[in-house]
Structure formats: structure tokens, C-alpha cells
Amino acid sequence: MTSEIDGPGEAKATEVLGSADISRALTRIAHEIIERNKGGQDVVVLGIPTRGVPLAGRIAQRLADIEPEIEAHAILGTLDVTMYRDDLHKQPPRAIGQTDLPAQGIDNKVVVLVDDVLFSGRTIRAALDALKDLGRPRSVQLATLIDRGHRELPIRSDFVGKNLPTSLSERVFVRLEEIDGRDGVFIAGGDK
């Protein structure tokens, strides 16, 4: 289905995941996290702003649904990576976000970083740098809704909602209810 991403005058895009697809992908990711870590008792879920934060919240809730002894709010946090990015000089000025860790911290925990799209790997490299200033996790895992390829760094997702091979001329847009008023993943551009 082709639609406008944000409104009149915005790019035309093809929807590749709808709301139900995103929901199923996040449920699968939560089950994979539980399986890989033999439960969720030591798991901390950190969302990377902007759209990684609501995705992390959804995953944390699904973990709590799977294992009732988990409290979603107690394992959930956010990790702002703005000051750790290696491209700040190329970007327009941006506000520094807030990092909120769960009360238990991250020391000796399994930290699951959550982001919407894995592309070059540079955001995740910045997240790893930020984590080292906050504590010493037992391990760090990565969950992304979309892996679109084109890595510039040796980084890969442990948990992927959908692998979406793209050309460099294409753009992937993730829209989430909490921020955008609807759920969907769209692809636009490319050679026609």
C-alpha cells in the first residue's frame, strides 16, 4: 500500500509493516529475549530516543506478560546517546535528552538496547560508549524493529523484527502510535 508518510506534501511511501505486524514482531522479540537469557530476572531494557523508547516500553511490557514476576516499569529505562555521537559536527544542533536507568542500575545485568532501525551502526556504537560511563553490564544485546543493512561498523542485532534490504537511496520511516499517532514501517525513494 502506498501512502503519504506524514501528511500532504510529504514523501510517498510503501508500507512494509502495519500495526499487527509490528505487534507480532515485538512479541517474538520478547520471547527470544526470555529464551536467550533463560528468563528475564536479570534483564534491563533501555530504549534509544526517539522511537526506541516506546518500542522498549512495549517489549518490557511483553516480558512482564510472559514472566509475571517481572515488573515492566522496573526493568525499563532510556539511554540518550547525543553527546556520544561521532557526527555531531555534521548534524543541526539538538537538545540533549535524558538518560533514565532503572533503580537496580545496569551493573551485572543483561542490558537490551532497543532502537527502531539499524543502519550504519553508529547510533549503537554511541550507545555502547554511553553505557560504559554508566556501569558495567554482564552483557549487552541489541533489539531493533528493522535491520536495513549497510553497516559501517561491525555491529549486528541480536533480535530483529524484520530484515529489510534497502538501497542507499531509499529511506525507512518508522511511525509509532505514542509519537506519530499510528503504527507502521514505510519505505520511500530508491531507483524507479
Closest CA to 123 of 178, 73, 165, 85: 85
- How many angstroms separate the CA atoms of 183 and 44, rounded? 24
- The secondary element (H helix, E strand) that includes residue 162 is strand 159-163
Cβ 73 vs Cβ 57: under 8 Å: no
**Is the residue at 188 inside a domain?**
no
**Is the residue at 106 inside a domain?**
yes
- For residues 139-163, average pLDDT: 97
* Domains held by the chain: number: 1
Residue 63 belongs to domain with CATH number: 3.40.50.2020
pLDDT one-digit tens code per residue, 55-112: 999 999 999 999 999 999 999 999 999 999 887 667 766 778 899 999 999 999 999 9
pLDDT of residue 1: 61
Helix (H, G, I), strand (E, B) or coil at 110: strand
pLDDT of residue 3: 62
pLDDT of residue 86: 82
With a cut of 50, say whether residue 119 has pLDDT above it: yes
Block residue for cell numbers 514482531: 25
**Is the residue at 134 inside a domain?**
yes
With a cut of 90, say whether residue 42 has pLDDT above it: yes
**Is the residue at 128 inside a domain?**
yes
- Please state, in angstroms and as integers, the Cα–Cα distance from residue 98 to each residue in 11, 14, 174, following that order: 31, 33, 22
Cβ 137 vs Cβ 107: under 8 Å: yes
- Please state, in angstroms and as integers, the Cα–Cα distance from residue 145 to each residue in 50, 52, 89, 158, 160, following that order: 13, 9, 28, 11, 6
**Is the residue at 21 inside a domain?**
no
Domain residues for 67?
30-86+96-167
pLDDT of residue 96: 85
Contacts of 89 (CB under 8 A, 6+ apart): none
pLDDT of residue 164: 97
Side chain identity at residue 16, one-letter code? V
Overall pTM > 0.85: yes
pLDDT of residue 9: 47
**Is the residue at 174 inside a domain?**
no
